[in-house]
Chain A
Amino acid sequence: MLRRVLYIDLTRGESWVEEKDDLFEEWLGGTGVATQLLLKEAPAGVDPLSPDAPIIFSIGPLSTMFPAMTKTVAQFKSPLTGELGECYAGGRLAMAMRFAGHESIVIKGRAERPCYISIENDNVKIREATSIWGIGAGRVGVILRDVEKGVGRRSIIRIGPAGERMVRYAAVIVDTYRHFGRLGLGAVFGSKNLKAIVISGTEDVSIPDSKRYREVYNRIYRMVVQTDAMEKYHDLGTPINVNVLNQLKGLPTRNFQSSSFAEAENISGERLAEEYLFRRVSCAHCPIGCIHIAMLKTAFTPHHEFEVRRVSYDYEPIYSLGSNLGVTTAEGVLELIDACERLGLDAMSTGVVLSWATEAYEKDLITPQETLGVPLQWNNVKGYIKAMENIVAAPNDFYAALARGVEFAASRYGGTDFAMALGGNEVSGYHTGPASIVGQLVGVRHSHLDNAGYSIDQTAAKKQLDPSSMVDQIIREDDSRSVFNSLVGCLFARGVYTDENIIDALGSVGITKSREELTELGRKIFLEKYRFKSREGFDLSKARIPRRFFETVSTLGRIDPETVEKMIALYKERRGWA
């Protein structure tokens, strides 16, 4: 198997390939390898938006060779949090990197003028992008599809205006409907004058024992398509959570002022599927098709033709731009998701920034002069779209502060008690209980996906779980996900990829690992990420928990701050940090 790293230096306009068998041997691939590359390539204390700050992409040893092994991990120093930046995207990127023969790509430097990178196997061209700078991400995709080669085997990733203007939570749009959304990779692209990357290739992958590979492949494929392990993701998809969390009193509403929303049904997965869903699509090499696309029909102008937009939706944007902003209609939510897509903003951070701003405006911490007359009011969709455009254009100090995230904005204007960030990252849509808070706080990228604390809370809604066993579960998830994310599989498929199936799948492509080795590797990767976090200044003891979490009833009732403190202390003790 090819285990190569492609290096691209935008300042010098050079690229080269290095074979790194030892690196992949020790760290498997994906996030394990990316973390080592980041530790090596990012100088300690580097400004995340400087030319010296690297961008790393990695796939894993099973990428595109097994069902749902579809993701690519991106690592960088986050301009939002100032420490580990990590996010994942599906689409066709992992497949295109596999075809191009690179398991990792490292991008450094800064181009003198706007550019995009075209990669075809080992052939790397840094091309002029002045003519597409300033253009929305969707349109740029269409233009590059026309001028670049590699149809069917390529991936196109690019930023919108938010990335160009270095909004700290700008996203990178991957192919169609997928994103490197979180922690500001789009701003890092913008800082490098990098508008897009097109990647394709024609490399083969050699399999040592094709009979064994086929046998393991078929078994896993059957589990994916013939059991109910993944069906729910295809059916209603994650928007099923809107009604579920609303019933369980865990649906963040109007900036977490409430955990249930009277209009939840209007923006629920059930309603969207009945009235707006027009198709489902898949990442390359996934038979599930969980990407739900809605048709949003709006009038160009009153009494004139209609425009139909296709908007992909899932639970997190519906929470952040829907219930969390008090938006009562599915059209309103889809309009806001579409505006994020057009501007290239991360939907989750954007929603949380706007919900804080709305409450701050209500409480007179912000004046109409500062909002430039934009009415920041719950459910005011037009006002929110204007505010998003202003976040990108940054016409005054207020919007420039919003563009730096909720933590920064609240440090300037007040309202930190209801500035809903953990570890500097705007929070996910689960007000389920203490495990969700602690999980996001201690997680390497301060995401619900680090250890799925919400799921631990959900279990606790049925059977008694003490803080100690919750902490043990968080640690187990932190570590086991470090292995799964080194394979860079879709987390929706983690029920299929049991330890046994992972060991068999790796064995079938010539990589021998025991259960014990994988467990130890997961722990090591997690600690390496913390090495980067600590080096860049993250200190768990100083991390802020917004008071709002303790004021609003959750799935598990009112959350006691002492329970959360106790869990953090236990976590530190069990990690050996106490």
Chain B
Amino acid sequence: MQILLRSFGNLRRIIGSELHLEMCEGSLLRDLLLSLPGHERLLDGLKIRDDVYVLVNGRSVTDINTALKDGDEIAIVPAIIGG
């Protein structure tokens, strides 16, 4: 199945701004995240780090065992920064 992945902020330098990925049927979000370069910047053990947001089709997802489906759009976003 085809997955479109986008990343933002300083994560872009590690992951790239836009990737078209071919994943096996039945893949989970964790499979995708663990396949990315610099995945330690995204995961704290098997949890998404507090300062990273993963959106699947625009919705924030915290469960890395979420099943992916063909055509999913995933955004990996760092936390808001400021005073």
Residue positions of A touching B, CB distance < 8 A: 232-233, 235-236, 238, 240-241, 243-245, 247-250, 269-270, 315, 430, 432, 448-449, 452, 454-455, 458, 461-463, 490-492, 494
Contacts and interface: CB of A to CB of B under 8 A. Distances in A.
A458 B79 contact: yes
Contact of B81 (A238, A461, A463): A238
Given A452-B82, A452-B83, A462-B62, A244 B10 contact: no
7 tightest A-B CB contacts, nearest first: A491-B83, A243-B8, A240-B9, A449-B83, A247-B77, A247-B75, A461-B60
A243 B53 CA distance: 12
Contacts of B10: 232, 235-236, 240
A492 B80 contact: no
Contacts of B83: 448-449, 452, 490-492, 494
Given A247-B55, A270-B8, A461-B53, A232 B60 contact: no
B9 A233 contact: no
B39 interface: no
Nearest to A494: B83
Nearest to B10: A235
- Among B10, B60, B82, chain A packs the most CB atoms within 10 A around the CB of B82
Given A315-B82, A462-B60, A248 B9 contact: no
Contact of A462 (B9, B53, B75, B78): B53
B81 A232 contact: yes
Nearest to B54: A462
A247 B7 CA distance: 10
A41 B62 CA distance: 53
B64 to A, nearest CB: 13
B37 to A, nearest CB: 18
B81 A240 contact: yes
Contact of B80 (A249, A270, A455, A490): A455
B58 to A, nearest CB: 8
B82 A247 contact: no
A462 B61 CA distance: 8
B70 to A, nearest CB: 22
A93 B73 CA distance: 48
A71 to B, nearest CB: 10
B81 A233 contact: yes
Given A461-B60, A462-B62, A245 B80 contact: yes
A446 to B, nearest CB: 15
Given A462-B60, A462-B62, A243 B80 contact: no
